[in-house]
């Protein structure tokens, strides 16, 4: 018999967060989170995402063991301001038992009905900065700290329960030596001169902070037309600054400004922390922090986390300035592989951005939809 339990205490939340550690035990491709950070992410007193979102956390229990989990999410801004009557679900993990998936997703559907919503979509997080999609191809590639990994049967469970594909995402990677530094340096100089633009490089995190709010303005302008877009609040931006910016190598963050020092483009790249997180096994101490700090300095793979160009400067070659900056930064460090985060399959603009680097699609993922 399978029973459903709603998470209400911190002790139970730790069980919710650590369930995947048993589900993916000995899986060399799954990348675990830091347990303490994941619990804080779900703390309504700490994460400002809950100012505009509601979430309920559930586990499935069979033979006194946790066999599945899910977060049922309502993004109130999305529903009230954008008129998208969507019931979200995320952090979906299950054993290979379709009855476990069924009981968890029936609860998500029930909450959707109670709130007069029109459809369910998932797995997705609270907003655009969260993880998204169930992996459908690429199970033999290591995950990243900003994507979910899952077993191949997740897709089968969802489809057997009546869910259909809603959005498809591609994950690509390319060799750093595919980037023609001479070419981008030449184009960069032309674009900077033509539009009176300046590239900003950093060596200290404190010098980046004054630009972060403006970076999110460019982010919103660049991504607002995508079907997945939900605005990021000021308090969420402040949370992001505290949680991520201070830990990212300052030289891996690039900005482009106009003659009035107004930001027109940005990119955030992170060293790959995947192997370090596997070694940390969910804990910063006693050795987890050492592994992360070592990866911050020594990792030869990097992950392109965010990149955006203001609509006024799109299709003008501004991305060449950013790639020129990274070429100069990465070459001395011996960077080998560049990994991109999931990008919508139908986002032609972003695919054109990378086409010169001979990218390889090594993973695919989807969100699934069910009408209520």
CB environment 14-48: b (16+ within 10 A), e (fewer) = eebbbbbeebbeeeeebbbbbbeebbebbeeeebb
Bridge partners of 198, per DSSP, are 257
In this structure, the strands spanning 86-94 and 119-122 are parallel
Q: How far is CA 157 from the centre of its chain?
A: 23
Nearest residue to 68 via CA among 19, 106, 28 = 19
Distances in Å between the alpha carbon of 5 and those of 83, 103, 194, 216, 303?
31, 11, 61, 38, 37
Q: In 10 A of CB 121, how many CB atoms? A: 21
Domain boundary residue, one of 141, 157, 172: 172
Distances in Å between the alpha carbon of 167 and those of 221, 313, 339, 345, 356?
21, 27, 21, 8, 25
DSSP-derived letter for residue 120 is E
Q: What is the CATH number of the domain that holds 87?
A: 3.40.630.30
Same domain for 258 and 162?
no
C-alpha dihedral sign at 340, 334, 138, 27: negative
pLDDT of residue 247: 84
Same domain for 8 and 23?
yes
Same domain for 204 and 345?
yes
Nearest residue to 52 via CA among 233, 242, 228 = 233
Distance in angstroms (rounded) separating the CA atoms of residues 114 and 60: 21
pLDDT in tens, the chain (372 residues): 999 999 999 999 999 999 999 999 999 999 999 999 999 999 999 999 999 999 999 999 999 999 999 999 999 989 998 899 999 999 999 999 999 999 999 999 999 999 999 999 999 999 888 999 999 999 999 999 999 999 999 999 999 999 999 999 999 999 999 999 999 999 999 999 999 999 999 999 999 999 999 999 998 888 877 766 777 888 888 888 887 888 899 999 999 999 999 999 999 999 999 999 999 999 999 999 999 999 999 999 999 999 999 999 999 999 999 999 999 999 999 999 999 999 999 988 888 889 889 999 999 999 999 999
Same domain for 134 and 178?
no
Same domain for 93 and 131?
yes
pLDDT of residue 227: 67
Same domain for 115 and 80?
yes
Number of H helices, E strands in the chain: 12, 14
For residues 330 and 209, the answer to whether their CB atoms sit within 8 Å is no
Residue 149 CB burial class (10 angstroms; 0-12, 13-18, ≥19): buried
Nearest residue to 120 via CA among 92, 139, 95 = 92
Number of structural domains in the chain: 2
For residues 364 and 170, the answer to whether their CB atoms sit within 8 Å is yes
Same domain for 41 and 148?
yes
Phi-psi category of residue 130: left, alpha or beta, with phi > 0 → left and psi -120 to 50 → alpha? beta
Q: 372 in a domain, yes or no? A: no
Q: 370 in a domain, yes or no? A: no
Same domain for 307 and 327?
yes
Helix (H, G, I), strand (E, B) or coil at 263: strand
Q: 6 in a domain, yes or no? A: yes
For residues 330 and 299, the answer to whether their CB atoms sit within 8 Å is no
Give the per-residue SS3 of 51-119: HCEEEEEEEEEECCEEEEEEEEEEEHHHHHCCCCCEEEEEEEEECCCHHHHHHHHHHHHHHHHHCCCCE
Domain boundary residue, one of 125, 141, 172: 172
Distance in angstroms (rounded) separating the CA atoms of residues 364 and 25: 23
Domain around 261: 174-363
Domain boundary residue, one of 110, 140, 172: 172
For residues 197 and 257, the answer to whether their CB atoms sit within 8 Å is yes
Cis, peptide link before residue 123, omega less than 30° from 0: yes
Same domain for 120 and 181?
no
């Amino acid at each position: 018999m399978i029973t459903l339990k709603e998470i209400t205490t911190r002790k139970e939340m730790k069980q919710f967060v650590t369930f995947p550690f048993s589900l993916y035990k000995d899986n060399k491709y799954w990348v675990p989170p830091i347990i303490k950070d994941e619990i804080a992410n779900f703390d309504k007193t700490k994460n400002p995402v809950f100012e505009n979102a509601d979430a309920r956390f559930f586990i499935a229990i069979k033979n006194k063991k946790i066999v599945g989990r899910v977060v049922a999410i309502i993004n109130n801004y999305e529903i009230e301001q954008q008129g998208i009557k969507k019931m979200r679900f995320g952090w979906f993990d299950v054993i290979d038992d379709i009855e476990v998936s069924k009981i968890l997703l029936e609860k998500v559907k029930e909450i959707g009905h109670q709130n007069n919503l029109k459809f369910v979509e998932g797995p997705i997080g609270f907003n655009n900065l969260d993880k998204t999609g169930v992996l459908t191809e690429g199970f033999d590639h290591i995950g990243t700290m900003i994507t979910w990994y899952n077993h191949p049967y997740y897709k089968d469970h969802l489809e057997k329960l009546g869910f259909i594909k809603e959005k498809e995402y591609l994950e690509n990677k390319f060799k750093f030596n595919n980037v023609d530094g001479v070419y981008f340096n030449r184009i960069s100089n032309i674009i900077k001169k033509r539009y009176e633009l300046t590239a900003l490089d950093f060596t200290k995190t404190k010098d980046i902070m004054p630009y972060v709010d403006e970076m999110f303005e460019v982010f919103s302008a660049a991504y607002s037309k995508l079907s997945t877009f939900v605005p990021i609040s000021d308090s969420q931006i402040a949370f992001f600054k505290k949680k991520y910016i201070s830990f990212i190598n300052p030289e891996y963050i690039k900005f482009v400004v106009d003659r009035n020092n107004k930001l027109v483009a940005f990119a955030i790249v992170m060293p790959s922390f995947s192997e370090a997180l596997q070694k940390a096994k969910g804990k910063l101490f006693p050795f987890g922090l050492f592994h992360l700090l070592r990866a911050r300095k020594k990792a030869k793979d990097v992950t392109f986390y965010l990149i955006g160009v203001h609509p006024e400067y799109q299709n003008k070659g501004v991305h060449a300035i950013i790639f020129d900056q990274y070429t100069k930064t990465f070459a001395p460090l011996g960077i080998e592989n560049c990994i991109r985060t999931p990008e919508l399959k139908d986002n032609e603009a972003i695919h054109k951005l990378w086409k010169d680097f001979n990218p390889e699609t090594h993973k695919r993922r989807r969100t699934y939809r069910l009408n209520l």
